[in-house]
Amino acid sequence: MRLLQYSETGRFTLTKDFIGDDRIPPYAILSHTWGPDNEEITFEDIVNGTSEIKPGYEKIRFCGEQARQDGLLYFWIDTCCINKSNDAELSRSINSMFRWYRNAKRCYVYLSDVSRCSVGGHHKCTPRLWELDFRKSRWFTRGWTLQELLAPASVEFFSREHKRLGDKISFMTQICEITNIPHIALQGYPLSQFSVEERLRWIQHRQTKLEEDKVYSLLGIFDVYILPIYGEGLASAHARLLDEFHKMQKCIKDLRLSDPRDDKKRIEDTKGGLLEDLYNWILENSEFRQWRNDQESSLLWIKGDPGKGKTMLLCGVINELEKSKAKSILLSYFFCQATDSRINYATAVLRGLIYLLVDQQPSLISHIRTKYDQAGKTLFEDANAWVALSEIFTNILQDPSLDYVYLIVDALDECVADLPKLMKFIVQTSSISPRIKWIVSSRNWPNIEKALNTTIQKLRLCLGLNEKSVSAAVAAFIQFKVKWLATRNKYRNDTQEAIQQHLTLNANGTFLWVALVCQELSNIPGWKARQKLISFPPGLNTLYKRMLDQIMDSEDSELCKSILAVVSVVYRPIMLDELMTFAMSRILRRDVYNLRAPGISIDQVKQPNPDPLAAVRYSCLYWIDHLLDSNTRGNSNDDLKDSGSVHKFLCQSFLYWFEALSLMRSLANGVVMIIKLEDWVQANESPNLYAFVHDTKRFALYSRSVIEQTPLQAYCSALVFAPEKSIVRTTFEKCIPPWIQQKPTVVSQSDDQMLPHTLIISNDWVVDEGVNILWLPSNYRTTVFAIRRGFVVLAQSLKLPLSTNFTYDQINYALTHRLTPQKQKTGRHVVLNTPQRKRLIEWVTASRENRETQCMRDRCIAVIEAKGYSTKY
């Protein structure tokens, strides 16, 4: 990005091109409508010093003078700050335009067809006339000005006499009426919250000189990156935009494990709401102010004992940063909770932080897509997820488009898996750039202190050393809760005062103690409240002991102890329905959602109400973990024997369990559990169980991608393509649908040959002269095959874009774009047509089959026939 500035001679000159880590200074930006090309000032005009002779120079002079009046030394204008003879620079500029307008301190709209002076020559202002001209201005009809209206926080309108007419806020009603754009979009509401259809309507009646620009001007509004290809036509550009947008949305959906914004709201609601008095003190705290203002202080550690209000303190800090930060600054946060398996491990923290960053600035997704386009959802879930995500996160933090980034992680002590990795990552990235700012909170644990002490850029805020401020916040919390109790239970004044005094004297600066006592009092009538109150001992430890004693002495003590015993060992909070279910085998069955059609994809599945899987969700995800935990105590040896409960369950319900995991979108967890179980079972003590578990692992790894996308394929292609001697296949042979009559003979393979594969046959494709497409494994790569005359022929010369590790989207791209075949002397010309006989793709295949394609022949034919295609040519 280049900027314009005044030179010492009073003329306009261009700055250097700001790239990489270069810090772009504050600047103003011009929005205008172009006149004839020969009147506009170009990049070459500025470089050659010939700009002043053209009519367009008036706009440059206006923008420069207005910027100087507003205290800005630099400004940007599209006509002359881009070297349009450089294709790479032009492409980069088109894709960066929205961000440049968004980051500008001021945006000046120069309306050359709006005058504040009357036509009579008396130069008297006539508001009625210029307001009519404003509504009819050409500026509202041009394509590129749409993003110039939406992106900047400050948009000011000027007449051709350089007179300020108003701004986006003062003209809000008129602009909404002219453009049909909702006022919240004009006020900075995230554009991603508007539907695709609505955003496309905003450009519908606008025009551009080149038809493709009507699409390219939407890149920032959809926050996608595509390469401009002038001459491709409007329809092609529109299709590429939507294709890239949908790929981006799928990537974000797969990345999302939990939305930290929802977790924050849940925490606040659970604790009775967030009061400003609970956190205001930290805004004036010296350590916090130093962290916020000092470039050398990039990491702030807030530490304190349990119940001291660390989480609510960070909720308040997040709120304040969101209110005060500039539009270009990103804020991402994550709340760890040891009792919730979704958000209690290091990889989940990275996924949550990256998700919020990408949600605020979707262009950052390019750092994810590099790996995601090859790996898909497994990028975020497999054994290498931490390595991949930490690399992605580091690249995001080094993105040159970033301004300041605030990153907040609450409760490090509740990250129960890979905490050392997470702390090391935080320390390393805190020194990447002074623009990266971390806040973390935890209990005062020595291992956390030792890890964070490895950086010299760390500040420490100890709640114990800020006792006065914390006590004042607790007093405000007590006052709020007592007022709520008094209103709810109709306390008399003396009762209210007594309760407030007792809480103040016994709280010991602990929010959690106050919250627990008030929760107990919430259902106690006023006349009993004071008597009940004195039964609460001060301090958390004594209060917890009293609560446990009450449970032991109650009539339902056995039931309560049973529930507490379960709650103490579960990996995440569970629902009452899940607590009551002890046998998955009673609920799991084939086609539990009654989908019926085996080809229904997971994206088409709608969860029934009531959900038959609701009661077994937890069991499906964690039964193996609990089995192995209990076995370490010597209580489950019989379960892991041949013909024991585990062996029987797998023989009866393995496929039902895998179908359920697919419906719950948690099949990856099932694969991990099977691997854990195989590691635990002793082959010499339980040979039959070990053999079955080993085969289920092979089956899971080989068929995961199919079952994950289409749950009922667990009983179809997954079984059909399993080796003939597979224990899973022989055990569940009766599950194969009767309409698959010809079952292939699949030779058993070694473990490293059992590679995942995906079969692609769409109902939109037809066999034309014996042609179809398959996607099958080949030396850990994905290869496209053609079916011809009952044989599988490798399409060796097919030219596919991007890479040889083809993804589903890449193959779809190839099938919808005409490619030029590579000619070979020997070979067969192959054509794929749509039902309307429209040619999609053509290539040349080798006439000789290799050994790999020959051995796949039978399995391919079986699936083609199952889809209703004929293999008799």
Summarised one tens digit per residue, pLDDT across range 289-327 is 999 888 888 899 999 888 888 999 999 999 999 988 877
Q: pLDDT tens digits for 446-480?
A: 889 888 888 777 788 888 777 788 888 888 888 88
Q: How far, in Å, CA of 504 to CA of 813, rounded?
A: 67
Nearest 5°: phi and psi at 598? -70, -15
Q: pLDDT tens digits for 782-818?
A: 334 433 333 333 333 333 332 233 333 333 333 333 3
Nearest 5°: phi and psi at 243? -60, -45
Q: How far, in Å, CA of 132 to CA of 804, rounded?
A: 59
Cross-strand partners of 591: none
How much of the chain is in helix, strand and coil states, percent to nearest 5?
50, 10, 40
- Judging by DSSP bridges, how do beta strands 27-31 and 106-110 pair with one another? parallel
CATH 3.40.50.300 domain range(s) in the chain: 256-468
CA distances from 662 to 402, 423, 602 (A): 38, 33, 8
Alpha helices for 182-277 (secondary structure H): 183-186, 196-203, 213-216, 219-222, 234-255, 260-270
Q: Give DSSP secondary structure letters for 556-585.
A: THHHHHHHHHHHHH-SS---HHHHH---GG
Of all residues in the chain, what percent carry a pLDDT higher than 90?
38
Q: Which two tokens stand for residue 801?
A: 């874009």
Asked if 711 and 720 touch (Cβ cutoff 8 Å), the reply is: no
- Rg, C-alpha atoms of the chain: 33
Say what the pLDDT of residue 109 is. Answer: 97
Q: Which two tokens stand for residue 652?
A: 């009866």
Secondary structure letter of residue 735 according to DSSP: G
Q: How far, in Å, CA of 334 to CA of 510, rounded?
A: 23
Which of the residue ranges 110-114, 240-244, 419-423, 510-514 would you say has the lowest mean pLDDT? 510-514
Domain 256-468 has CATH 2.60.120.330: no
Give the mean model confidence (pLDDT) for residues 72-78: 94
Q: pLDDT tens digits for 667-707?
A: 888 888 898 898 888 777 889 999 999 999 989 888 888 89
Query: Regarding predicted confidence, which is higher, 682 or 156?
Result: 156
pLDDT category at 843 given cuts 50, 70, 90 is: very low
| 139-142 long-range Cβ contacts below 8 angstroms, 24+ apart | 139/31, 139/32, 139/33, 139/109, 139/111, 139/113, 140/178, 140/179, 141/205, 141/206, 141/207, 142/33, 142/206, 142/207, 142/208
Q: How far, in Å, CA of 457 to CA of 228, rounded?
A: 43
Q: Give DSSP secondary structure letters for 19-53.
A: -TTPPPPPEEEEE-----GGGS--HHHHHHT-GGG
Asked if 4 and 81 touch (Cβ cutoff 8 Å), the reply is: yes
Tally the C-alpha atoms within 13 A of residue 307's C-alpha that lie toward its C-beta: 17
CB burial string 664-694: b at 16+ within 10 A, e below: bebbbbbbbbbbebbeebeeeebeebbebbb
Query: Regarding predicted confidence, which is higher, 511 or 771?
Result: 511
Say what the pLDDT of residue 125 is. Answer: 53
Three-state helix/strand/coil letters over 455-509: CCCEEEEEHHHHHHHHHHHHHHHHHHHHHHHHHHHCCCHHHHHHHHHHHHHHCCC
- Judging by DSSP bridges, how do beta strands 839-845 and 828-833 pair with one another? antiparallel
Is the confidence at residue 504, as pLDDT, over 50?
yes
Tally the C-alpha atoms within 13 A of residue 721's C-alpha that lie toward its C-beta: 31
Q: pLDDT tens digits for 522-547?
A: 888 888 888 888 878 787 777 777 77
pLDDT category at 51 given cuts 50, 70, 90 is: confident
* Nearest alpha-carbon partner for 716 in 620, 855, 596, 870: 596
- What is the residue type of 91? S
Asked if 507 and 312 touch (Cβ cutoff 8 Å), the reply is: no
Q: Give DSSP secondary structure letters for 278-346.
A: GTHHHHT-HHHHHHHH-TT--EEEEE--TTSSHHHHHHHHHHHHHHHS-TT-EEEEEE--TT-TTSSBH
Q: How far, in Å, CA of 570 to CA of 629, rounded?
A: 11
Say what the pLDDT of residue 685 is. Answer: 83
Say what the pLDDT of residue 350 is. Answer: 96
Asked if 144 and 150 touch (Cβ cutoff 8 Å), the reply is: no
Mean pLDDT of the chain: 80
Is the confidence at residue 255, as pLDDT, over 90?
yes
Asked if 389 and 380 touch (Cβ cutoff 8 Å), the reply is: yes
Q: How far, in Å, CA of 595 to CA of 389, rounded?
A: 35
For residue 778, the SS3 value is strand
Say what the pLDDT of residue 583 is. Answer: 61
Q: How far, in Å, CA of 797 to CA of 44, rounded?
A: 45
Cross-strand partners of 4: 14, 75
pLDDT category at 422 given cuts 50, 70, 90 is: very high
Nearest 5°: phi and psi at 524? -100, 125
Is the confidence at residue 849, as pLDDT, over 60?
no
Which of the residue ranges 90-94, 561-565, 688-692 would you say has the lowest mean pLDDT? 561-565
Say what the pLDDT of residue 546 is. Answer: 73
pTM here is: 0.64
* Nearest alpha-carbon partner for 298 in 448, 451, 452, 439: 439
Say what the pLDDT of residue 429 is. Answer: 93
- Residue 312: other Cβ atoms inside 10 A: 23
Sign of CA dihedral 54, 59, 65, 71: negative
Asked if 352 and 343 touch (Cβ cutoff 8 Å), the reply is: yes
pLDDT category at 865 given cuts 50, 70, 90 is: very low
Helices (H) and strands (E) in the chain, counts: 37, 17
Give the mean model confidence (pLDDT) for residues 579-607: 83
- Judging by DSSP bridges, how do beta strands 781-788 and 791-794 pair with one another? antiparallel
Strands (DSSP E) found in 85-163:
106-110, 155-158
Q: How far, in Å, CA of 708 to CA of 723, rounded?
A: 20
* Helix or strand holding residue 830 (H, E): strand 828-833
Query: Regarding predicted confidence, which is higher, 557 or 689?
Result: 689
Asked if 420 and 453 touch (Cβ cutoff 8 Å), the reply is: no
Q: Which two tokens stand for residue 599?
A: 């080809």
- Contacting residues for 500 by C-beta, under 8 A, at least 6 apart: 478, 479, 482
Q: Which two tokens stand for residue 266?
A: 């849940």
Q: How far, in Å, CA of 670 to CA of 704, rounded?
A: 10
Q: How far, in Å, CA of 119 to CA of 114, rounded?
A: 12
Secondary structure letter of residue 819 according to DSSP: -
Secondary structure letter of residue 358 according to DSSP: H
Cross-strand partners of 28: 75, 106
* Nearest alpha-carbon partner for 58 in 71, 77, 72: 77
* Helix or strand holding residue 13 (H, E): strand 12-14
Say what the pLDDT of residue 159 is. Answer: 93
Q: pLDDT tens digits for 101-117?
A: 999 999 999 999 998 76
* Nearest alpha-carbon partner for 114 in 180, 178, 51, 201: 178
pLDDT category at 271 given cuts 50, 70, 90 is: confident
Is the confidence at residue 832, as pLDDT, over 90?
no
Cis peptide bond upstream of 434, omega within 30? no
pLDDT category at 637 given cuts 50, 70, 90 is: low
